Structure 1
């Protein structure tokens, strides 16, 4: 083993300034592979704008009356789109309209829901298709990822500027950016967030150097250029520009360097006017406003929500999506990761307060913390202001201030003497596996199998040209609210459909009412029926979620069906026998969430007889003269298909003597007794069919029987029938 002194030297002298950005870029390539081209927030809008600019050679004019794919993105400062449009123009993107096929059943912004997370259909999600439009998008994504790598490098240099002697601090600060899964994910997409984050990170680095070393003409020019370019990339780039200007005022106050101060001010104003001014003047001419935010809101949609309510209702989503919420705000990672990041943030905040207390006499340290915090505060205020007008509470909008976040967090953590590798290494490992574990499984096509597995239940049901040849389904059991039911279906299409057909999987109660339903295309939305290959057997996996607030006390079944999308009538299934059925339904057992809603009230007559040491008759009630309700309670578990009989005899029953059954009405518990737990109550209803106008006093007998076993539950009465008190039965009015 190398001596400890050698390891420490390697730790101190390793080339982190390029090593960390390189590691970030390599991990980002995994995200590039795992996430198909359109699967980050607003990617389809960014791409549509790039395509429009490349095709028309100019910027679009916003109008709320125009229905466009790019929508609000055309109100963004255009530098990123102009640069990428130049790349787009030299690539073969002629088939873009055919390549971009949105999934009309996508579930976006609801991470608790499973499936249909792909915004777009992909003919070849894996391995990536490196041709035509797809290749152009991967090139743009790789260039955008490189901008993220520059951000990591700039954060590292910023940390070295704050604490030149603390290599571990710089490594930790850069790692908090480089191994933030969400930052990697967004950096590996088509988005204007990575370029503005890169520019603001570079601005923060140069601002910190200015705070430490004072004014220098070369640095002032670099700062001015960066601020102007950031202002032409995204509006929140102006926040770091304003912060840098205020930092310049502070440096002037401290040094009284008039020349340096005026040079900085004139360069910032001149570069802004020369490089970015035309864009803001264009906004004034077209929309009558400097920033174009009104036009953006008109196209994206407005809302009015108070800051307090905004923070209460949407802070959790903002916090989670800063660290890891993939797809279109729809793919969560493990909850322990978010708890770990919360703990890390809390420790960092405590440590930062301690750092400021210990360094209250170090003017540069305090000024660095102040201006980093000011940039974050201004950015946070801007995000709250913007989110109060439209839906924008997403963590990626904090990435332009990620230098502030990472440096302040790292300052707090190193103050608490937490070793940087204790944080950086687990974050790296999690960031590296997250795309494979959490992202990729949502986008691949359903696998093709050579034949039906031996453990699958074979069937032959056909909806048009789509055959269900087998399935996996859990054995009937008791389900409750919040449960998830795994279902595997094996489809064998006879032909591709000319138009889209959608599959529905609906959980039904005994009354045929839907408990939950999933509308999807095969592969949980990944493979439209117009694309699948005839003769292949597709293994199609689903997890059906019972809503957490769903009430129910009933049997439950799975209804499987198809319909022409979007609003065609259900296609009738053709069974193996050749018979056309109204529906295809499979049993799942029972759904119990809450008590039986039909339990009897105080007007019922109490009872207490126990049948077979398992089921007790609690009470009974005769209503409308011919409807007998029996309330039962399970005393002990019992299995089997037990039913309740209720018979009306002409005369009281005498064992061994002949008897005449006048009316009989059997009843099946809403939930079969085999699915009930001890002490659960339920009601069976027995509506005797009496002739109109009939009235008479009769003996009524009740009991339990099992037709499969050919026996009744024992009770201490002749023939295992419990006699109820004589009842005055009445038929309906004639």
Structure 2
């Protein structure tokens, strides 16, 4: 008995010893992570689950969950739409189930032979409809249809009553019947996975509670309570704006073609099991993945995303405070946190489903981890866990905004320099950073490689984005222009790349590109919030009094931050640690700003530097506050003066942006152009134009014109360039005079004596029957009345693929030269003589081919004249080494053998072109004998 009692006492002692160890926060956290991983591991594969969906006339697809929203890719509210899902709903046991009846759309649900509900007749639906489901597989058909009348946001799906109103899970849906045992196992695995997930959440809450309990004394400190109040107040401000924003009738309807519509559509397809697509990523996948995981875990709700982003924005107050406290002091940290909490731009973008709702929070996190990593690396015994976390954060951030990845080599270098005394430790930290960064990025790169067999790190839109902001017509705002439209066709046809075309435009006019960079820099550092996808003024200030009341704008924050940067660098001279942390802030801001300026500028693209503006913006405020307390009026005046000067610099940015780009004026018609001096009327004349170049079918044609202003023009006239093949119009482009390239200079702004350069871009149809020559007609007209004030013919446009002709085996080889062209060969096909030409240098005239037939006694029998290719391809348009197949109808003569002689003459002068045979002898009278041919 004593032995048993002793053993039990020992076991109790061991339990009492190990229990506190097991209940340590780090062990609870590890257990929560383990349960979460186990939940993910035991979750059933959803491959093969879902219903077969038929979207209109498109091929059927499998949707794992069944729903439709106004923000789906391809959905157009003004167009009627219909989706039909069919398959089987598996139930482990028989019972009564209630399905939610969609509101606002036509819907029909049939389970087995029971019509659960049918709203196609337009009657007012009930909220719920019940049906008895048998155990096993129940055939199901679900139909949703819209009437094509836009009426705000729409979301409907196959939902049932469970823990509230939820979408029918994918684990219950099958396109075809499978083994009941497999279906039962899948449900059981789903239940086990859900239970483990709940346990993991419970343990995570326990861990958070344990950590907070251990920190209870610090949490009751004035700093912690103050920060908690500031976070709560920041979140309250965001909720106020969200309430105003959500009150708009179309608040949740995302415009087609916008970034947030693309992210949302991809996220909804993720929930359905149809994302990522089987092609490389064009845009960054991180936002769609973030939305998709959130929707799949909770529900596809826009409001959920907005709340999550606003919570992250509110908690960024803590990150901004900690960065500023480490880099400066507590007073500055409080001011920086306050600036962040009140900053209206961050509040606005956190309500949008774009990457810019997450970028400031991610940027602040990267800054904090970077600074902490450098401080730890400088310690005697470095800890690499923070470096690993920094790498992971950088990789995840790059999935949201790829430009964050530019920080990687800078972070690597800083970690290496931080351990200058031990380069091995610095190199180890840098390598760990690189490996950790690659962990989130590697799956994206692997997906891209599997899709097209080529290496693509993240996205493929970098080149097109660069071209948008740097082409010969660019405004710096990534607006579509004639140059971009032309490039789009060239790149789409595989004839060039966006980067090659951008380099070509930059080399063509490097001065303009430098001016464009200056303009983009001024636009970036100006106060105006340039709209794109979302409009801060129309969708923010105009609908929310809160955003209108909050005084801070980008320009004010930039002025404060610019002054703060001067103070920060000046006061850090005596401290290596302070200098290092403040340099991190500067490098981060400059890299993120620089990338935007090199590509193109919009207000929302400045979001990553918002945390730096709040941090540095607090510095002069802190100096002024301390100066007032100490009655140090000189310091107050210096700080206030620097802010004023910086503000003046911000205020002048719009003037620079508008004035740096020169108007499209030239001193004289270039030597490369054809001077014509053709009066067009109303004081406008065509001084000249660049030669019309040959183009291939489907390619763009650039027509560069030089207008002369002879007197003051009182209105904006339009020009049209039209291309004709005979009487048939092939292509046309219209635009106001002087608006072919940025900046615009419409005719009403012209001054007498000015020469204005203008460019018109025409798109040739890909179906053009090349080769052919088109006549270019230029017309100047009054748009309001259609009155033509002048016109002129510019000349011929060769449309050709410049392919060399290949002689068929039946052709007779010649090799004689007619004019500058070589007759490679010829043959008789029916009643036609087919000539195979190879073009040489440009012809001196518009050639006409003549065919003469002679009898055996060399008596002239008959002749026929005609332009090449039935007049569709003038010899003036022939391109060097181009092959032309030219068929001519033989004269109407009886069948028999004839001596054939051909030649060519100028249609204007009637003078025959020289003919030289293969022996170099000039044929008399410009006649080339082809020998005896049989005319059928």
Query: Scaled by the length of structure 1, what TM-score is found?
Result: 0.41
Higher-Rg structure is 2
Query: Scaled by the length of structure 2, what TM-score is found?
Result: 0.34
Using CA pairs under 8 Å that are at least 6 residues apart, name the structure with larger relative contact order, 1 or 2.
1
